[in-house]
Structure formats: structure tokens, C-alpha cells
Amino acid sequence: MEKMSRVTTALGGSVLTGRTMHCHLDAPANAISVCRDAAQVVVAGRSIFKIYAIEEEQFVEKLNLRVGRKPSLNLSCADVVWHQMDENLLATAATNGVVVTWNLGRPSRNKQDQLFTEHKRTVNKVCFHPTEAHVLLSGSQDGFMKCFDLRRKDSVSTFSGQSESVRDVQFSIRDYFTFASTFENGNVQLWDIRRPDRCERMFTAHNGPVFCCDWHPEDRGWLATGGRDKMVKVWDMTTHRAKEMHCVQTIASVARVKWRPECRHHLATCSMMVDHNIYVWDVRRPFVPAAMFEEHRDVTTGIAWRHPHDPSFLLSGSKDSSLCQHLFRDASQPVERANPEGLCYGLFGDLAFAAKESLVAAESGRKPYAGDRRHPIFFKRKLDPAEPFAGLASSALSVFEMEPGGGSMGWFVDTAERYALAGRPLAELCDHNAKVARELGRNQVAQTWTMLRIIYCSPGLVPSANLNHSMGKGSACGLPLMNSFNLKDMTPGLGSETRLDRSKGDTRSDTVLLDSSATLVTNEDNEETEGSDVPADYLLGDVEGEEDELYLLDPDHTHPEEPECVLPQEAFPLRHEIVDTPPGPEHLQDKADSPHVSGSEADTISLAPMDSSFSLLSVSHALYDSRLPPDFFSVLVRDMLHFYAEQGDVQMAVSVLIVLGDRVRKDIDEQTQEHWYTSYIDLLQRFRLWNVSNEVVKLSTSRAVSCLNQASTTLHVNCSHCKRPMSSRGWVCDRCHRCASMCAVCHHVVKGLFVWCQGCSHGGHLQHIMKWLEGSSHCPAGCGHLCEYS
Amino acid sequence: MGNMVSVINTVDTSHEDMIHDAQMDYYGTRLATCSSDRSVKIFDVRNGGQILIADLRGHEGPVWQVAWAHPMYGNILASCSYDRKVIIWKEENGTWEKTHEHSGHDSSVNSVCWAPHDYGLILACGSSDGAISLLTYTGEGQWEVKKINNAHAIGCNAVSWAPAVVPGSLIDQPSGQKPSYIKKFASGGCDNLIRLWKEEEDGQWKEEQKLEAHSDWVRDVAWAPSIGLPTSTIASCSQDGRVFIWTCDDASGNTWSPKLLHKFSDVVWHVSWSITANILAVSGGDNKVTLWKESVDGQWVCISDVNKGQGSVSASVAEGQQNEQ
């Protein structure tokens, strides 16, 4: 004993050093145990029994305890334990039922000391008494536990667990006389070493075998148990009945459990199958391991903390024939890797967001598991209110909406339901849709509809008030800008359209014309940047983009070499224009002179003077009627549709496409149209707007889209004779071997359109039946039924 | 002009640990959540309600992500977990049950995503073992598994499918024949890369592109829904605090250019597109959600941020929100 205390003293001042490392063993390990000096580790297995020195950089083999020529079964170890008070004393549990003690102080090569051959089957576990040098406990597959005094030749006492097999035994660290044992049947027993007749206490801890247990090094009453049910449970043994304090759910059966030194709530586990990793859990956070060691390639069989007061060094042995030292700081931490937030954009523009609650908030404001009382929460455990939730995380889940009221996609639903897409004259459709858009506060869209109507409908049909309104708006927005371009920026020598044979005096009409197109663009701009400064610059950019059209309109600058100049800048890149073109001073001036209004304002009030819009009206009248085909605008309209689609408003793109039909369809490539259609239909279906979706499919001009309505309709046909379902595709019924669907008039098989009376189910070729019914209202089959066809 | 972003519903999930994902279904009426506590829960959130419909138990570890399948296949939810499993749940006669369990990964499965419905029922799963597996429903309860090994070194954190777009016009297709889609998806991983995968004609998956810009683990990728847009857009976020928007304009789909949306001070965990793909929601380590929109000059602007306080929400001004409508 003197010697030992000296070692302790020497150790007291030393600091453990080392790194994460491993060494290869000759054979798979079954168990490991650390010497009390924390400098040596013993590895035991079926065919290995060695002591390694743990050096700073590596493991160094110090002693091979398997000596002798023929391997004895006594050396096939299931467990090994190094005495925590005597560094020369070890005990092993052999698979043949023998308990062996080893004295490293023996001078001979063979260190074997004593042999106890009392158990009948494999000894699963051996355990020294924490303070008593001579007391050894064993637990065996035969269901018995034995206590040995190493000064005697045989056991002092035998404890019968009244059960098949003992998986683990462990002396309590604090209670001198107490030990715990765990059993294959799920029970845990508590024994007083002085009373072998019966256990002090027994309870069922797990569903299935309890493979391991470990007393908490500090808390006298805490016992951790691990079982095949993949759970680790922490029991408070101080109370009259063992009370479950914590339950950790791992992903595989728990083979070993070891409390982490100096960390009250941490314990390490490893599994005996499937999972090769070692986990360190905070028992208060039972679902996510605090740390994970992934070094082993096969099942980990033994784990041991290197020093009873050091939380950072963990040693492990594995079936992969390796011995490892793990450093806690090198462990991977699944908690850190775990995503603490969930985010989802909902259909209606609402946002579901789950985030970790701050721990402070969790502690003060937490009502544990209140809430949904409609549904009981199973698996729910009462948490100890005295225990702070330091390691426990929780999340709050909120659903946000973008705007009070209907949600930000509400407009989509309303618009879809209320738009008129067909069945009325174009002008009416446009007006209706403009009205719908306006009522929903979508001014830009409303204005677009109005402009479309002006472009494509003869103004003579337009109620003047309405037109005034829209034209007024248009002029208010676009006129000044256009003027500035018209007068200053025209470059001679560019192409024009020869068929526009107009005089110079028509400049005014140019203005009107461009005015309307510019308004389209203006609106679009506004949609993006309403209320900001951007539209001013942006407008200029856009108008610049339309320069080509300005040139086209100019009859005076016909270029002889390019009589049919096509627009050189199709689908002009709007955005670059913005950057490249600084607003000219004249332009700004013009703007200042005229009321520049953003789209939404313009929509509510017509700011233009009455007389000006009147004059515009009359000019445009003449213009449309006589010269300018709506085709002229198709490029603009096309760009407008593309713009809306790009803004995510595919609804507008498709609606305009349907309403305008052939007027615009040829200008947009088939594929894009299809894509818009399918996108829109998909959206409509998500919002469960089946009717609208159907209508859109029906009205679509794209063949691929319109065939959507013909898909997934199944027609079930029964034989007209035996009334059984027709299974084959032919004309003959499988069962009665007669031809089904015979024409009642000509008695031939109908191989096309078959019409039949729903009353008597006789029928035939459409034409034959029609002809028959002209002469008689009775069934042609002669069944006497007065047939009715609708 | 400012709009309030307001909380309409604070769902009491009764999850016993952290929630890792929340997903709304196709119709926006149900919310699925998953948590470290190993459970998946489904709530009916219609009209601001929160009725627990199902509490799905079956995973043996934290559940990282859930994904709703298109309703044309029934009510189907996939979940993936730390326990290395992917479970597909199905509602049948009002009760939710496990219909399939996929345990083909050697490590935590971090992400699941259903392919566009046009392809059938196909689920992509990204795992910490570096592989991505693709489960295809072949009928009668059978799932066919294809696996892309070593998709991302150290692990795959996110998968996101490209919207179904048909190459070339449908008109050219012989009638009655199914259009031949090119299936593509994006994945993000611990190799700091976003990789784009494409199904070859022989049914094998091949890496098509490697998008490189992040300097740390890629946490999430989100392929924008294609609503009327000819371009492909992907949003990605990373441990390095940066969010990139990747766009590809050319038809071949080979030239992707990144644009930095913002550099946050903390990890960015999620990116999520609005249904019309014009707003991007971003959530970062500071417990905040920000909404971003591309301005006229191609810059991404924050239009709103949502702070998550203790249950209540301090909303902030959202500029130009109304124009959304």
C-alpha cells in the first residue's frame, strides 16, 4: 500500500499529454482497462492480452501476458480490469468461465496469479472493489455473481440473480457494500455484498438485455444503464424506487457506458453491432450526441476514460484490431453540424420559419410540453424542474405572412378567378381585365390591358370616356419624354418603314403612338421600383431602346439601302441601357415641366389636361384607321409579355396571350408559350383553381397544352350482352364471345363513334341512329324502349 | 408603402428538441416539421390554425429534413435522419404510415428532395457519407435505387431538383409519347462546391457542372422554380456566410455565373424561393430571415427582414412589397 500511495502523489502533479492516435493490435480486442497511473492500458481479447504504454505520440507495447506454448482457454478474455489501487493487479474474465488474476510484480514471465474456476459459463464481467484491495466481483452467463477475496482460494459468496445471465456487475463507488448487476432479461439488481441470500432491490430497466451499467463517479445515487433497446437510462437509486432521470436514445444497441470524468451530465457509449462510433452524450439532450469519435472501422468493444479526473482523453479498443486514444477536442460534434433552422416559402407567400430558441428564453419562458392537448404526446418524460435546461435545445416555429390580410399571393387567386379570357369582343375583355386589375390595386397591369385594347381595337368602338382616361394617363407619363426624343435624338440615315407614307405634319401622331408604347414600358418600370428614384433614369434607358421605332416612324430619313430594315435590337437588353445612359439634361428639364407620375398615381387621377387628351384621341383615331397595323406593336407586346413573365407574373403573360390570340402568338416562339402555359396551369392547380386551369387549357393554342385535358380520362366499357366489363381491346367480348357494340340498325360492329340510349343501352352508328329516329322513336333493337337522345 | 411582415401563426409543435426543417405542402395547407427528438409532425395550418394531424415515429436519430411529394401521387412525405435512414410516409385512409424505408447510406442522411412530378416519384437523398442516392418508385411498393458515390467529399448537405423543362418544343414529339425530359439536380456539400447532376440517356447520373465560389461548407442549394423564365437560377448558401445567386442563360446550360447576394456575419443555413421565384428568403445563424429581390439593375436588395424574437415578431419595413402583387 505504501508503494501505491507514492505513485498517486507522483501522479497528482503530472499533466496528461497526448494526441489522437491509434495502434494496430494483432487481434480483435474485447475489453480494455487503464492502469491507475493513466500511463498504461491493458487490452484483452480472445487471442490477445497485452499491456501498452501510452506515450505522447504513440502506444508502445510493454508486455505480452499471453505466455506459454499452447494457448489456454483461460486466456480467452471476455473482460479485463486493472485494479485502481494496485497497479500490479489485474483480473480477467475468460470465455470458459474462469476468473484469473494477474500479478505484474511476479518476477517470472508468466504473471498469472490465481485461477477461480467456479462459473459454469462465460464470465461476462469482472470488477474490483474501488477501495478494498482484495475484493473481486464477477458476473457470468450462468446467472451467478461471485465475490472473491484474493487472499483465499475460492469465492466468499455467491449471488444468484434468478435469471439467465449476468451482463455487468459494478461496485458502487460511494456505498461500500453495494453493487449493481444487470441482466439479460432487462432487470437491474442492487445487492448488499454482505447479504448473498437476496437482492436489495430489483427493477426492470430496459426492454431486452441490459448490457452495461456505470455508477456516476460523483453523484452517489446515479446509475447509467445501457441496453439492446438502444437506450441509455440514468437512474436515481437514492430514492425508494429507482427513478428514471434521463433517457438517451442512440441508434444501436448499447454495449458499454462510461460516465465522463468531471462532466456531470456526460457519458460515453459504444454499440455492439452496426454502429462503430463512440458517442458522448449530454444526458439532458437525449437525441443528439454531444461528440462523436469515428475512428474505428468495426465494432468498438471497450471504452475507458484515461484518468478518473480528466475529461478529454478516451481510450478504446475495437474488433477492428486497433487501440485508439481519442481527444475530446478532435471529436466531431453533430450538434454543431446540425442545422438549427428550418425555412420554407409557402404557397401563399407566407413563410414558415423554425429557429432555435435562445437558451435564456427557453429557461424562463418555457412551459414544458404545454400546448397541444388535443393529442397526447407519447414518449414524453417529465423533466426535473430543479435541473436547468442548459444542454437542452428547443425551437420556435412561426408562420409569417407578407402582408396583413389575404396573404401576398391573394391577388393571384382573385385575378385568376375574375379575368375574362374569351367569349367576348377583345375590347370588352381588355376593359374587363383592366377593371379587375385596377380593383385589386394592380395598376400597372390594369394600364397594360388598357393599352392593349387601344393598340388592337379600333378606337371607334371605344367609349370615349374610357379612352380619354387611358390616353390621359399615357400622355401624362410618356408624352414629355417622347417629345424630347422626337425633336433631338433622331439620327438621319437610319431605316424607316416605307409604307408609312406620312407627312411631317404628323409628328404629333408619332408622339401619340410612341406615347402609348412608352407607357407600357413605364408601367413595367414602375412595377419594379415604385416610389424610388430609379424610374427617371430607367425611363430614359427604355426609351432609348425604342429608338429604332422612332426612326422607323420618321418618314424623312428613308435609307435607300435598307428599305426593309427590321428592328436591329430585338429583345434589347434593358438593364444595360440603364447603366450606360446617363439622363440627358434636356430630358430632365422636360420632365420637370410636365407632371411625372408613377404608375399608381397616374392610374387614379388623370393628370393630363382635358383638351390635350382630346387632341391625342382624334389623332390616334386617324392613325389607327388609316395606316398603322397593330402588327406594328407586336415587338413591344412581345417584350411586355416577356417582362411580365420574368417578373414572375406568368399569369399576365398567359392571359394576354389568350386574349390576343393570333394577334401576338406568332411573335413568341412556341416553346416559350408552352412554358408559360404549363407554368401558369401548374400554379392554378396548386391554388386549386381547377376551373380556371381547365379554361386555360381549353383556350390554349399550344397543342401540347390542350391535350392535357384529354389525359387521364378512362372509359370503362361493358359488353352489351353479358354486361361484364370488356377486358380486351377488341370488339369481341371475352366471356360471351359475341361482338359488343353492334349497331342496332345495320348489325355491324361500330368501330368509331358509338351512340346509345342511356335507357336501354342499345345504339349504333351515329348516322344510322339519327336516321332511324327520324322515322321512329322506338329503339331500333326492338326492345320496345322509347329511346331518348339529347 | 412599408409593409409589415407579421406573424400569423406561432405553431406550438411540442417538439422536445430543436426543429431542423419545416415544409409546407403543395397546397400550402399543411406544415411538416422534423426535430432532433426523432419525430416528424404534420400540422394543418389552414386559416391560421395549427392542428396536429400526425406524429410520425420511426427514425432513431435526429430528423434533418422533410419533403412533400406532388399530390398527384397521394399524400406522401419523405424524411431523412441522422440514423442513416430515409423514410417515406404515406397517408392512407386518413392515417399516416411508413410506406418505405431506405437504409442505403453509411452515415447521416442530410437532405431529401422530390423530383418534379413530371418525372414520376423520384427522391434524391444526400448523405454525410458523400453519396447521393436516387429512389425511383417503380410501382407496387417497389423502389429502385441508384447511387452516386463520392458525390461530395466528406458529405452532401443539400439537394435540389431543377424544374422540369423540356428541351426543344413539344410539338416535335410524336403524339402520345412522353416528352423526354432532361433530369437535373443540384447538390451542395462539405467540399464547398455545388455540383450539378444530369441523367444521361442510359439512365446513369453524371456530373455536369461544378460551381465554385464558396469557401466553406455549402449548407443549402435551391433551384428556383421556373415560372415563365428562360434562365435557370440557383441560390446557394454556406458556412462562410455568403449567399450566391447562380444564373445560366445559355441553352446548353453550361455557363453559370455567380452573383454575390450578400455576405452575412454568420452561417447561412437556408435559402428558399418564393413560388414565382422572384423573392428569395434567407435564414442565417443570427436567427433572422431576410427577403431579397432582384432590382432593375440586377442587384439583389433586401426588401425585408424578419427577426424572430421570443414568440412575437418585430417586423420591419418592406419596401416595394406591394408591387409584388
Which grid cell is A665? 402568338
How far is A483 from B175, CA to CA, in rounded Å? 53
CB-side neighbour CA atoms (13 Å) of B31: 33
| pLDDT value at residue B179 | 57
Pick from A488-492, A767-771, B139-143: least confident: A488-492
Residues A212 and A179 in one domain: yes
Q: Three-state SS string across A734-748, please?
A: CCCCCECCECCCCCC
A-chain residues within 8 Å CB-CB of B10?
396-399
pLDDT at B6 over 80: no
Mutation to test the B interface, candidates A343, A409, A693, most B Cβ within 10 Å: A343
Mean pLDDT of A28-42: 92
Q: A67 or B178: which carries more pLDDT confidence?
A: A67
The domain of A349 spans 339-361+393-400
pLDDT at A333 over 50: yes
Residues A688 and A746 in one domain: no
pLDDT at A411 over 60: yes
Question: Which CATH number covers residue A173?
Answer: 2.130.10.10
A524 within some domain: no
Residues A148 and A198 in one domain: yes
Element (H, E) at A437: helix A426-439
> Helix or strand or coil: residue B57?
strand
Mean pLDDT of B283-300: 82
| pLDDT value at residue B178 | 53
A426 within some domain: yes
Residues A780 and A695 in one domain: no
Q: Do B18 and A393 touch (CB under 8 A)?
A: yes
As a 3-state breakdown, chain B gives helix, strand, coil percent values, each rounded to 5, of: 5, 55, 45
φ, ψ dihedrals at A2, nearest 5°: -60, -45
| pLDDT value at residue B113 | 96
Q: A702 or A98: which carries more pLDDT confidence?
A: A98
A143 within some domain: yes
| pLDDT value at residue A709 | 67
Pick from A221-225, A319-323, A523-527, B197-201: least confident: A523-527
> Helix or strand or coil: residue B137?
strand
Minimal-distance CA residue of chain A relative to B117? A682
Residues A225 and A192 in one domain: yes
Q: Do A399 and B229 touch (CB under 8 A)?
A: no
A378 in contact with B, Cβ within 8 Å: yes
A533 within some domain: no
Mean pLDDT of A116-135: 91
Mean pLDDT of A481-496: 37
Pick from A393-402, A675-684, B14-23: least confident: A393-402
Q: Do B23 and A344 touch (CB under 8 A)?
A: yes
| pLDDT value at residue A712 | 61
Pick from A348-357, A559-568, B2-11, B100-109: least confident: A559-568
Residues A246 and A159 in one domain: yes
Residues A173 and A307 in one domain: yes
Q: Which of A710, A742, A759 is the last residue of a domain?
A: A710
The answer for B 121-150 residues in CB contact with A (under 8 A) is none
pLDDT 10s digits, A688-701: 888 888 888 888 87
| pLDDT value at residue B4 | 45
B-chain residues within 8 Å CB-CB of A707?
175
How far is A270 from A32, CA to CA, in rounded Å? 13
- Percent of chain A having pLDDT more than 90? 24
Biggest CA-to-CA distance, chain B: 58
pLDDT at A368 over 50: no
Banded pLDDT at B172 (limits 50, 70, 90): very low
pLDDT at A276 over 70: yes
Pick from A4-18, A277-291, A572-586, B206-220: least confident: A572-586
B-chain residues within 8 Å CB-CB of A527?
323
Which grid cell is B151? 458525390
Residues A344 and A197 in one domain: no
Whether B295 contacts A529, CB under 8 Å = yes
What's the domain count of chain A?
4
Q: Do A646 and B228 touch (CB under 8 A)?
A: yes
| pLDDT value at residue A484 | 34
Q: Do A650 and B283 touch (CB under 8 A)?
A: no
B-chain residues within 8 Å CB-CB of A706?
none
| pLDDT value at residue B111 | 95
Nearest partner of A161 among A146, A177, A176, A178, judged by Cα: A146
pLDDT 10s digits, A191-225: 999 999 989 999 999 999 999 999 998 877 899 99
B297 in contact with A, Cβ within 8 Å: yes
Choose the closest CB to A401 out of B8, B168, B173.
B8
Measured torsion, CA atoms of residues A515, A568, A524, B253, in degrees rounded to the nearest 10: 170
The mean pLDDT value of chain B amounts to 83
Choose the closest CB to A675 out of B228, B272, B325.
B228
| pLDDT value at residue A453 | 85
pLDDT 10s digits, A244-256: 989 988 888 999 9
Banded pLDDT at B230 (limits 50, 70, 90): low
Whether A232 contacts A226, CB under 8 Å = yes
Mean pLDDT of A433-447: 88
Mean pLDDT of B59-66: 92
Mean pLDDT of A487-491: 37
A128 within some domain: yes
Q: A254 or A361: which carries more pLDDT confidence?
A: A254
A354 in contact with B, Cβ within 8 Å: yes
The mean pLDDT value of chain A amounts to 72
- Percent of chain A having pLDDT more than 70? 67
| pLDDT value at residue A630 | 62
A652 within some domain: yes
How far is A728 from A789, CA to CA, in rounded Å? 28
Q: Kindly report the CA angle at B22 between B21 and B27, in degrees rounded to 5?
A: 145
How far is A300 from A292, CA to CA, in rounded Å? 13
A564 within some domain: no
Q: B14 or A508: which carries more pLDDT confidence?
A: B14
B316 in contact with A, Cβ within 8 Å: no
pLDDT at A170 over 90: yes
Residues A143 and A269 in one domain: yes
Pick from A453-462, A649-658, B269-278: least confident: A453-462
ipTM: 0.84
Residues A176 and A270 in one domain: yes
Banded pLDDT at A702 (limits 50, 70, 90): confident
Pick from A336-340, A659-663, B114-118: least confident: A336-340
Q: B313 or A64: which carries more pLDDT confidence?
A: A64
The answer for B 51-80 residues in CB contact with A (under 8 A) is 51-52, 55, 57, 60-62, 64
Residues A668 and A783 in one domain: no
Q: A349 or B67: which carries more pLDDT confidence?
A: B67
Q: Which of A141-150, A285-294, A623-632, A674-683 has the highest mean pLDDT?
A: A141-150
Dihedral (CA of A751, A756, A758, A760) sign: negative
Element (H, E) at A551: helix A547-553
Pick from B23-37, B49-63, B211-225, B278-292: least confident: B278-292
Residue type, position A96, single letter: N
A431-434: Cβ within 8 A, 24+ apart: A431/A466, A433/A655, A433/A659
| pLDDT value at residue B274 | 87
Considering the entire predicted model, what is its pTM? 0.70
Whether B166 contacts B172, CB under 8 Å = no
pLDDT at A124 over 90: yes
Residues A683 and A731 in one domain: no
A184 within some domain: yes
pLDDT at A631 over 60: yes
pLDDT at A303 over 50: yes
Q: Which of A710, A728, A749 is the last residue of a domain?
A: A710
Choose the closest CB to B5 out of A370, A400, A525.
A400
Q: Which of A710, A743, A775 is the last residue of a domain?
A: A710
